[in-house]
Amino acid sequence: MTVIKKLNDLDITLSKLSRKKILSLVPTMGSLHKGHISLIKSALKYSDEVWVSIFVNPTQFNDINDYKKYPVNSKEDINIIKSIDQNLNIFIPSIDDIYGKKIIRDKYNFDGIDKVLEGIKRPGHFDGVATIVKKLFEIFNPNFVFFGEKDFQQTMVVQKLIDDYFKDIKMIVCPTIRAKNGLALSSRNSLLSKKAKKNISIIYDSLLFAKQNFYKFSNKELKKIIKSNIEKNQGFLLEYFELRCSKTLKICNHENNHNSSCRAFICVVADGVRLIDNLLMHNEN
């Protein structure tokens, strides 16, 4: 296993790689869980060489307190990666290595897919995501990159970035990994209080309810029922619940969804911890 913390050292290591080797990159912000492990294991199936980057990216946080609270445990992350496969490689850069002295997020045109859902609630977030992802892609020049379906809107943004700048890169989107109660695994889950954890299954239950009743209720009715069910739990707030097309992120429902895939997107704040999830409602014909 190789663990590199300096960009210069990484450049030297990558320059020695055979161009015939298939290289995969799994970008993470650390605090690894079974969802990340599934991405890494998928990457191993595709590649001769797999790199996992660990970097809590400041430009994708629109709230400085959220950035400061983000869980960090590099030593544990390294141990987790080592337990998966001894041949994995890890890059843990500093902010200075990635951004230099000026921490600036670049601006991008994502044709509107960054202006809804998380884009409304977290202004500048996707520009920050694209800024770090573009830097990592330029550093590694990977053949494959791996992201999780839980952050579905993010995968759409990354695909647009690939289409615009990195046509030789193939993105693999891996299925959401869930806890026994249905909660989508996320690094933020470690911040949940014991009280919140008792009722947190309501998030996935709400998505399942929407799927089961997709043809029964209108979007407005579904949202009203789901909001009521969620906010019965003390300290829980529904930030959004929306039904949108998986290809365009335009609003969809059972009446206009005959030729597209409709997906439910949800964001719940549970005792101050913000959690997102999504679920496909209706497969494309």
Residues 168 and 55 in one domain: yes
Residues 191 and 60 in one domain: no
User: Phi-psi bin for 117: left (phi > 0), alpha (psi -120 to 50), beta?
Assistant: left
Q: How many separate domains does the chain show?
A: 2
pLDDT tens for residues 178-223? 999 999 999 999 999 999 999 999 999 999 999 999 999 999 999 9
Residue 20's pLDDT band, with cuts at 50, 70 and 90, is confident
CATH code for the domain in which residue 194 is found = 3.30.1300.10
Residues 167 and 256 in one domain: no
Residue 118 lies in a domain: yes
Residues 257 and 141 in one domain: no
pLDDT tens for residues 25-60? 999 999 999 999 999 999 999 999 999 999 999 999
Residue 114 lies in a domain: yes
Residues 73 and 150 in one domain: yes
Residues 249 and 217 in one domain: yes
Residues in contact with 20: Cβ distance below 8 Å, sequence separation at least 6, in sequence order: none
Report the pLDDT value the prediction gives residue 19, as an integer from 0 to 100: 80
Percentage, residues of the chain above pLDDT 70: 97
pLDDT tens for residues 226-255? 999 999 999 999 999 999 999 999 999 877
pLDDT tens for residues 121-159? 999 999 999 999 999 999 999 999 999 999 999 999 999
Residues in contact with 9: Cβ distance below 8 Å, sequence separation at least 6, in sequence order: none
Report the pLDDT value the prediction gives residue 260, as an integer from 0 to 100: 67
Question: Which of 148, 174, 200 is the last residue in one of the domains?
Answer: 174
Catalytic residue from among 36, 254, 258, 282: 36
Report the pLDDT value the prediction gives residue 257, as an integer from 0 to 100: 63
Residue 28 lies in a domain: yes
Tokens linked to 49:
């060489």
pLDDT tens for residues 82-126? 999 999 999 999 999 999 999 999 999 999 999 999 999 999 999
Residues 29 and 154 in one domain: yes
Report the pLDDT value the prediction gives residue 183, as an integer from 0 to 100: 98
Residues in contact with 22: Cβ distance below 8 Å, sequence separation at least 6, in sequence order: 46, 47, 48, 49, 143, 144
Is 36 among the residues known to form the active site? yes
State the average pLDDT for the chain.
95
Residues 155 and 57 in one domain: yes
Question: Which of 174, 207, 240 is the last residue in one of the domains?
Answer: 174
pTM for this one? 0.95
Domain coverage including residue 239: 187-279
b/e code 198-222 from CB counts within 10 Å (16+ = b): ebbebbbbbbebbeeebeebebeeb
Residues 120 and 246 in one domain: no
CATH code for the domain in which residue 12 is found = 3.40.50.620
Report the pLDDT value the prediction gives residue 285, as an integer from 0 to 100: 44
Residue 258's pLDDT band, with cuts at 50, 70 and 90, is low
Residue 255 lies in a domain: yes
Question: Which of 133, 148, 174 is the last residue in one of the domains?
Answer: 174
CA pair distance 205, 190, nearest whole angstrom: 20
